[in-house]
Amino acid sequence: MNSSLIREILAIHFEPENGTPYWLERQESLGFDIVNEIDNCHDLYRLGPMDINALRTRPLVDFIPRRFQSMLPELLLSETGGTTGDPCRRVFSPQEFEHAFVRPWQAAVERFSFPCNGTWLFVGPGGPHIIDRSARAMARAVGSLEPFTVDCDVRWIKRQAPGSLGLNLYLDHVLGQAMNIINHQQIDSLFTTPPLLSALAERMSESQRRAIRGIHTGGLALTAEKRPALLAFFPNAVILPGFGNSLFGVTFPAIPIASDEEDVFMVGDDSLWLQLAPLPVTSEDEQELGRQVEPGQRGRIIVHRFDSTFLIVNLPERDTAIATPLAQGGTGLAGIAPLQFATPEDRQGVY
């Protein structure tokens, strides 16, 4: 991560008069001059873990620099799905949103020859979840009308027991709406989660599946085990998975791979660093932040995102990945999977 960018963003958030209340409080408790003593990513551990409960409970403006308080009407609000607990919240400026979601997508579209000018269907969360906004921006970025959409309340789904009547009725409601669109519109591009995609494929006719030219998956990892079945359902489609969330944006695979291989995701945004730190053994263990795992080892994803309007440092993610060297340099993330104790079973679902 670029040292000059780190210094620039830290100077904004730790400015005594116009900085960020949350981070200024952190500086006071840590007792050292962060702006003058932190100038590269290897020193970020000194700030300690970011308080995820604060992201869930404190007023959002406590995380926005005071200098930007007059710009609030211009900022985009984003909330997480609540898989690991109550939702976390942040904001993006329009430019930060573009860098976090749209530009990595455009680069991936070129690498994978994802079809342009199609007619999209997005089946996923709307409301407070920024994935809906990103779906619209991604479709427009490839020359398409904004997607036809079916809203899916993933927080409600997480409250339903697997196999329960409530879950089955809700999924039938969501899939029924999606099929209404597919039956009456010439859909050739899909954006949804792997579980919803599999369920939708079962309802589509063979001709409808063959008409699909592009599929973007998100929300949950598309594993090497699931990919062959989806390719059989959609033989004419380019399947482009994404890995990301509402807090840091989205990443995409470095290169297309064989159907039985694991994708290796690369970060395509200078403001983002996804560190792979040693795995804690239990939920009670303190997360080690000062080290990165060696190539071939599995580590926990630690998010660092340096934006002017919102700073994220040392935020432990629910997911783990295997550190994998990239041909173009740097480290990619392969075999993405949840940390066993970070995702309660009763909150798992389709997203």
What the block records as the tokens of 227 is 């990919």
String of DSSP letters for 188-228: -EEEE-HHHHHHHHHHS-HHHHHT--EEEE-SS---TTTHH
- pLDDT tens-digit readout, 59-99: 999 999 999 999 999 999 999 877 778 899 999 999 999 99
Q: What's the pLDDT at 344? A: 56
Question: Does 100 have pLDDT greater than 80?
Answer: yes
- pLDDT tens-digit readout, 138-167: 999 999 999 999 988 888 888 888 888 888
- pLDDT tens-digit readout, 103-136: 999 999 999 999 999 999 999 988 788 999 999 9
pTM of the model: 0.92
Cα separation of 245 and 274, whole Å? Answer: 12
Q: What's the pLDDT at 93? A: 97
Residues with Cβ within 8 Å of 278's Cβ and at least 6 positions away in sequence, in order, are 288, 291, 293, 299, 300
DSSP 316: E
What are the C-alpha distances in Å from 105 to residues 58, 126, 138, 243? 32, 19, 7, 11
Q: What is the CATH number of domain 96-257?
A: 3.40.50.12780
Dihedral of the CA atoms 224, 230, 234, 237 (nearest 10)?
A: -30
The type of residue at 236 is N
Q: Decide: 331 and 120 in contact? Cβ < 8 Å.
A: no
Q: What's the pLDDT at 248? A: 96
* Domain parsing of the chain, residue ranges: 96-257
- pLDDT tens-digit readout, 3-56: 899 999 999 999 999 999 999 999 999 989 999 999 899 999 999 999 999 999
Q: What's the pLDDT at 301? A: 97
Q: What's the pLDDT at 350? A: 55
Cα separation of 186 and 49, whole Å? Answer: 48
Question: Does 204 have pLDDT greater than 70?
Answer: yes
What the block records as the tokens of 123 is 């089946």
Question: Does 351 have pLDDT greater than 50?
Answer: no
Question: Does 342 have pLDDT greater than 70?
Answer: no
Question: Does 168 have pLDDT greater than 80?
Answer: yes
Which secondary-structure segment (H or E) carries 52? helix 52-57
Q: Decide: 157 and 173 in contact? Cβ < 8 Å.
A: no
What are the C-alpha distances in Å from 248 to residues 225, 229, 245? 27, 30, 6
Rounded to an integer, the average pLDDT of 294-318 is: 97
